[in-house]
């Protein structure tokens, strides 16, 4: 398939941020995913932000039903899906009015004008056609395209019904977007062939719509030029595009392979964690057993049962489900069995905002169990980082015989970025030994300790090591039930020390930028990209600012306290009301300034830059004051 | 190959002191379990007891096997994770009426309907013992307890009816004081491939003493209990009375008044649980209560077999998974 070439002018730009918005049923997520993959294959760095309603099919045409997909692709390394949009594609009035504010002045608005009629205005609750607003022409470049009509014409030869024909219009929109940004049609043509292999007439219609969209861009006088984004200079290697939940699933399988364990995944469906289940259950031939339990509690309990039996056991959920698992997690902790508990965080409290992102379960992870039950907590910083975090979590779990929690979030889970594909031989093996059977000449001590304070992982089936575990407090060493006061103190201290000791083995906290200065930005989890970009921009503007991004939240790296002392101000940026800030203040007695947001949306770089500048300028003001 | 050592009941006793109240029915169940396990000839180290919370759930501590005293109501869920990943183990779930039917009702139903190959022994004393005497889901209507001073207004739940509604493949009942019957019933449960439920009438002599005396006391038992036998008619009161199926109802008849073939013949193997359900609903004092095996349907695939079968099938069809190949499948690009 020869790539199509435009005959119009091509302007080279370093990066483009585009958002595709339409009704939930308009296929915007598919369009976005295809544009992302195509851009990644063109060698761009990419970052995505899908944003969709919790309802499966919210009432058609309404603002609540708008589904969007934002992608930034660039010729340089990028860490966020972009703040303001260079281009916005809208399929109906509701999509336009809910997204237009994010389009930059001078940006391109492409509207399916067939979707703008009286009926749609009523559904979107607008008084008049928003495309007719006078201010629009002055602010944006508006391209009205009768996509429905043109799509119907393009597919007319296939004799499809109107309804089916209209479903092809997202491919028409895709073709037009591909033309505008000089993207090759080939990956999407391959996708169409594979996806609709059993429905050749649908495949042909979608292909025709895609090509018609491209041809429209090439011929219409509305577009004088298209844009080209060159390949980015990424580290050498083989890359693929990967989403966070997919990377987590693959990381779990990789961890099972390097530790010679079969993977058991016990879970209950919940947004935005379910895709991990959907992914893992495809890989039974990797020794993966998935169990869709009757509820969240059964999911964590089955996980503990599998861990007791000697499997690599994992459960995942989101905040509401993690709340239900709390008692089970406490049992896993006191049993001292290795397992992984994943929380793909979403907006809370209660059911909250199921499809929106938030980082408000940090304190739940730290303290959300009865009694003193500390668990190690790791947080991936980006979609691709989920892979490494999964492997690292299992390594710590088995070395310390403890459940390890991973705090991902909806933004990472559904976002995607290029992933430099590792080789399995490059992943360090995780060595696991189970005590061997004895003739019982000496009593087995299931709660004896090694240098990591970990107990032996003796599994059923081993002769001579029969023992009972349970949620009642245990006597040190023997594991027998004990109500002895001094023993309870000792065991509580021991379990806490075991987790705290992990700080000796994890990497020291690294810092981006100078090791001392005016302002340090501290962040964790999915806000890495926005914070990294904002700090870089402020440093370019002459501010003395550095960035420390935590992947280990419990225990925190051993040098973190010292590191915080090297800055005049510490900003903690997080998508909650100040949970990490609370921990840092309590642990290190360092005052921290919170930059917080709970809107179900990620940080924009712009708002972080403003917050950093404010604190940096305050420091400069203070020192000028002192100089006087 | 060395021969397996012959084990005695004492070999299944752990070194822990048993801490049930003197006179508790739990002692009898523990003794019968220790008695029948050596007879099964199954290695101790491959035997696992998993319990929830409650008096009965201390059981695993007293067995010299692997064991887990888990959390309230959830034992079947722990057993599911263990049995699916280690199908070669013999897994017992020890639970009570509160543990299995109140806080753990969901897990109880689902373990049974999935036909997970575990043996669930439900100690039914119709009271909350460990929390000192509140009514349970099996307490009778009107029962005065600490939490029901004017009498319980809840309609009691029958464990057997619940299990049959979930189409459990093995459903049985026995009595703590009827030790021979109890041992035999536990053995039948162990031999069954699939989920087994054994309800055991167990006396709580502190908070609900004598609640099931009509079935436990030898003198009363003959008149109030029918010992089921597959292929045999339902008779009680030393053969003087029997049960007849009339339409969709069971009724008591004097055996001398009706032809022998009028009596209901017990068919534990009937895949249709309707008559088993009628039997489960027979309750004292209106009717005698059946003990023994109500239902034992074999050759139903077990959950643990099937989950492992899917893994084996996928591996046979696709070969052992190759992660390097998976990572590089689909669209990739190279940066030089």
Q: Are A406 and A317 in contact (CB under 8 A)?
A: no
Between 3.40.605.10, 3.60.150.10, 3.40.50.2300, 3.40.50.970, what CATH number should domain A240-422 receive? 3.40.50.970
- In this predicted structure, what is the pLDDT of residue B226? 98
Residue A510: CA count within 13 A, CB half-sphere: 5
B49-85: per-residue pLDDT in tens?
999 999 999 999 999 999 999 999 999 999 999 999 9
Residue A305 makes CB contacts below 8 A (sequence gap 6+) with: A313, B50, B68, B77, B78, B79, B80, B81, B82, B83, B85
Chain A residues in contact with B334 by the CB 8 A cut-off are 237-239
Distances (CA, A) of B205 to A3, A79, A182, A188, B317: 85, 68, 83, 74, 58
Classify domain A9-229 by CATH number.
Answer: 3.40.920.10
- Mean pLDDT of all residues belonging to chain A: 95
The C-alpha of A487 sits at a distance from chain B's nearest C-alpha, in angstroms, of 18
> Which residue from B minimizes the CA distance to A267?
B81
Mean pLDDT of A409-426: 96
Q: Using DSSP, state whether A441 is helix, strand or coil.
A: coil
Query: Does the structure show a pLDDT above 80 at B6?
Result: yes
A281-327: per-residue pLDDT in tens?
999 999 999 999 999 999 999 999 999 999 999 999 999 999 999 99
In sequence order, what DSSP letters do the residues of B151-198 get, joined into one string? ---SPPPPHHHHHHHTT-SEEEEEETT-HHHHHHHHHHHHHSSS-EEE
Classify domain A517-627 by CATH number.
Answer: 3.40.50.920
* Of B64, B324, B331, Cβ closest to residue A466: B64
- In this predicted structure, what is the pLDDT of residue A441? 72
Q: Distance (Å, rounded) from C-alpha A459 to C-alpha A433?
A: 10
| A33: contact with B, CB 8 A cutoff | no
Closest by CA position to B297, among listed B319, B276, B279, B322: B276
Q: Distance (Å, rounded) from C-alpha A549 to C-alpha A523?
A: 5
Closest by CA position to A321, among listed A290, A342, A291: A342
All domains in chain B, ordered by first residue: 9-228+267-311 (3.40.50.970)
- In this predicted structure, what is the pLDDT of residue A440? 67
Residue A202 makes CB contacts below 8 A (sequence gap 6+) with: A160, A164, A196
Inter-chain contact A253–B321, Cβ cutoff 8 Å? yes
Residue A540 makes CB contacts below 8 A (sequence gap 6+) with: none
Mean pLDDT of A35-64: 91
| A479: contact with B, CB 8 A cutoff | no
- Antiparallel, parallel or unpaired: β B249-254 and B241-246: antiparallel
Closest by CA position to B85, among listed A155, A424, A313: A313
Q: Are A142 and A100 in contact (CB under 8 A)?
A: no
Domains A240-422 and A517-627 share a fold: yes
Structure tokens at A529: 């990209």
Q: Are B62 and B16 in contact (CB under 8 A)?
A: yes
* Of A291, A307, A469, Cβ closest to residue B80: A291
- The 10 Å CB-count burial string (b at 16+, else e) for A270-295 is bbbbbbbbebbbebbbbbbbbbebbb
Inter-chain contact A257–B323, Cβ cutoff 8 Å? yes
Instruction: Please tell me whether the interface predicted TM-score (ipTM) of this complex is above 0.95.
Output: yes
> Which residue from B minimizes the CA distance to A332?
B70
Banded model confidence at residue A6, pLDDT cuts 50, 70, 90 = confident
Residue A544 makes CB contacts below 8 A (sequence gap 6+) with: A514, A517, A518, A519, A616, A619
Structure tokens at B160: 């057997």
- In this predicted structure, what is the pLDDT of residue B4? 62
Q: Distance (Å, rounded) from C-alpha A612 to C-alpha A531?
A: 10
A166 Rama sector, left if φ>0, alpha if ψ -120 to 50, beta otherwise: alpha
Inter-chain contact A287–B336, Cβ cutoff 8 Å? no
Q: Using DSSP, state whether A255 is helix, strand or coil.
A: helix
Chain B residues in contact with A284 by the CB 8 A cut-off are 310-311, 313-315
| A294: contact with B, CB 8 A cutoff | yes
What is the residue whose two structure tokens read 């031939």? A285
Mean pLDDT of A601-625: 92
Mean pLDDT of B178-201: 98
Is the preceding peptide bond at B197 cis, omega within 30 degrees of 0? no
Inter-chain contact B69–A469, Cβ cutoff 8 Å? yes
Q: Domain-by-domain residue ranges, chain A? A: 9-229, 240-422, 433-505, 517-627
- In this predicted structure, what is the pLDDT of residue B322? 98
The beta-carbon contacts of B207-210 under 8 Å, at least 24 apart in sequence, are: B207/B125, B207/B127, B207/B128, B207/B129, B207/B132, B207/B133, B207/B145, B208/B125, B208/B126, B208/B127, B208/B129, B208/B133, B208/B139
């Amino acid at each position: 398939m020869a790539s199509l070439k435009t005959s119009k002018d091509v302007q080279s730009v370093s990066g483009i941020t585009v958002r595709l918005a339409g009704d939930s049923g308009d296929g915007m997520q598919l369009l976005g995913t295809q544009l992302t993959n195509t851009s990644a294959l063109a060698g761009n760095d990419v970052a995505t932000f899908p944003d969709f309603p919790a309802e499966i099919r919210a009432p058609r045409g309404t603002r609540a039903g708008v589904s969007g997909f934002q992608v930034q692709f660039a010729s340089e390394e990028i860490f966020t899906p972009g703040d303001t949009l260079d281009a916005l594609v809208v399929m109906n009035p509701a999509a336009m009015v809910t997204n237009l504010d994010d389009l930059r002045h001078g940006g391109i608005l492409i509207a399916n004008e067939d979707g703008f009629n009286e009926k749609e205005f009523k559904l979107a609750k607008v008084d008049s056609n928003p495309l007719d607003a006078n201010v629009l022409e002055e602010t944006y470049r508006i391209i009205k395209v009768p996509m429905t009509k043109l799509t119907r014409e393009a597919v007319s030869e296939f004799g499809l019904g109107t309804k089916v024909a209209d479903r092809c219009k997202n491919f028409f929109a895709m073709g037009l977007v591909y033309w505008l940004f000089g993207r090759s049609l080939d990956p999407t043509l391959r996708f169409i062939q594979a996806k609709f292999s059993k429905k050749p007439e649908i495949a042909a219609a979608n292909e025709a719509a895609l090509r018609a969209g491209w041809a429209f861009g090439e011929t219409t006088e509305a577009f004088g030029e298209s844009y080209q984004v060159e390949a980015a200079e990424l580290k050498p290697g083989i890359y693929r595009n990967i989403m966070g939940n997919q990377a987590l699933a693959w990381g779990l399988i990789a961890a099972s392979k390097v530790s010679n364990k079969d993977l058991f995944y016990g879970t209950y469906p919940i947004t935005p964690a379910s895709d991990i289940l959907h992914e893992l259950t495809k890989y039974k031939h990797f020794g993966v057993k998935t169990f869709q339990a009757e509820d969240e509690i059964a999911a964590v309990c089955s996980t503990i049962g599998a861990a007791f039996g000697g499997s690599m056991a994992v459960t995942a959920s989101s905040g509401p489900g993690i709340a239900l698992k709390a008692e089970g997690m406490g049992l896993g902790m006191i049993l001292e069995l290795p397992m992984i508990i994943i929380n793909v965080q979403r907006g809370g409290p209660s059911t909250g905002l199921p499809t929106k992102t938030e980082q408000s379960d940090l304190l739940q992870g730290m303290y959300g169990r009865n009694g003193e039950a500390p668990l190690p907590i790791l947080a991936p910083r980006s979609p691709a980082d989920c892979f490494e975090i999964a492997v690292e979590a299992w390594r710590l779990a088995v070395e310390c015989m403890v459940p390890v929690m991973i705090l991902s979030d909806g933004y990472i889970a559904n976002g995607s970025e290029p992933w430099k594909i590792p080789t399995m031989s490059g992943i360090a093996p995780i060595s696991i030994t189970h005590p061997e059977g004895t003739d019982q000449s000496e009593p087995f001590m299931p709660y004896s300790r090694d240098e990591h304070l970990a107990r032996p992982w003796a599994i059923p089936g081993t002769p001579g090591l029969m023992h009972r575990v349970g949620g009642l407090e245990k006597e040190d060493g023997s594991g027998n039930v004990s109500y002895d006061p001094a023993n309870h103190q000792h065991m509580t201290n021991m379990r806490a020390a075991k987790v705290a000791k992990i700080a000796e083995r994890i990497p020291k906290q690294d810092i981006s930028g100078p090791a001392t200065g005016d302002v340090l930005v501290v962040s964790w989890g999915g806000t890495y990209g926005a914070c990294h970009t904002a700090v870089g921009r402020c440093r370019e503007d002459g501010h003395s600012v550095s960035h420390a991004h935590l992947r280990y939240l419990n225990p925190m790296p051993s040098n973190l306290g010292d590191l915080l002392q090297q800055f005049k101000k510490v900003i903690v940026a997080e998508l909650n009301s100040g949970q990490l800030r609370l921990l840092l203040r309590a642990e290190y007695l360092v005052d921290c300034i919170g930059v917080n947001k709970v809107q179900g949306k990620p940080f924009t770089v712009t708002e972080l830059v403003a917050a950093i500048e404010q604190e940096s300028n305050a420091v400069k003001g203070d020192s000028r004051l002192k100089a006087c | 190959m060395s021969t397996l050592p012959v084990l005695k009941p004492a070999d299944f006793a752990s070194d822990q002191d048993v801490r049930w109240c003197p006179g508790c029915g739990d002692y009898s169940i523990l003794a019968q379990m220790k008695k029948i396990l050596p007879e099964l000839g199954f290695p101790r180290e491959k035997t696992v007891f998993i319990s929830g919370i409650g008096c009965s759930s201390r059981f695993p501590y007293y067995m010299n096997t692997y064991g887990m005293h888990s959390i309230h109501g959830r034992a079947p869920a722990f057993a599911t994770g263990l049995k699916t990943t280690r199908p070669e183990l013999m897994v017992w779930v020890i639970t009570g009426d509160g543990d299995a039917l109140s806080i753990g009702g969901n897990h109880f139903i689902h373990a049974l309907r999935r036909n997970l190959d575990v043996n669930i022994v439900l100690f039914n004393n119709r009271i909350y013992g460990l929390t000192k005497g509140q009514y349970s889901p099996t307490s009778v209507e009107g029962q005065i307890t600490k939490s029901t001073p004017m009498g319980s207004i809840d309609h009691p739940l029958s464990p057997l009816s619940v299990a049959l509604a979930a189409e459990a493949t093995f459903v049985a009942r026995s009595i703590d004081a009827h030790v021979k019957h109890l041992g035999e019933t536990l053995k039948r449960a162990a031999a069954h491939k699939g989920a087994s439920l054994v309800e055991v009438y167990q006396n709580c002599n502190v908070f609900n003493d004598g609640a099931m005396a009509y079935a436990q006391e030898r003198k009363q038992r003959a008149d109030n209990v029918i010992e089921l036998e597959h292929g045999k008619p339902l008779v009680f009161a030393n053969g003087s009375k029997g049960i007849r199926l009339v339409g969709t109802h069971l009724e008591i008849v004097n055996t001398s008044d009706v032809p022998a073939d009028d009596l209901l013949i017990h068919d534990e193997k009937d895949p249709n649980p309707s008559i088993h359900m009628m039997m489960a609903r027979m309750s004292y004092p209106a009717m005698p209560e059946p003990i023994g095996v109500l239902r034992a349907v074999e050759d139903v695939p077990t959950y643990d077999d099937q989950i492992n079968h899917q893994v084996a099938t996928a591996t046979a069809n696709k070969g052992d998974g190759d992660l390097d190949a998976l990572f590089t499948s689909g669209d990739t690009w190279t940066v030089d």
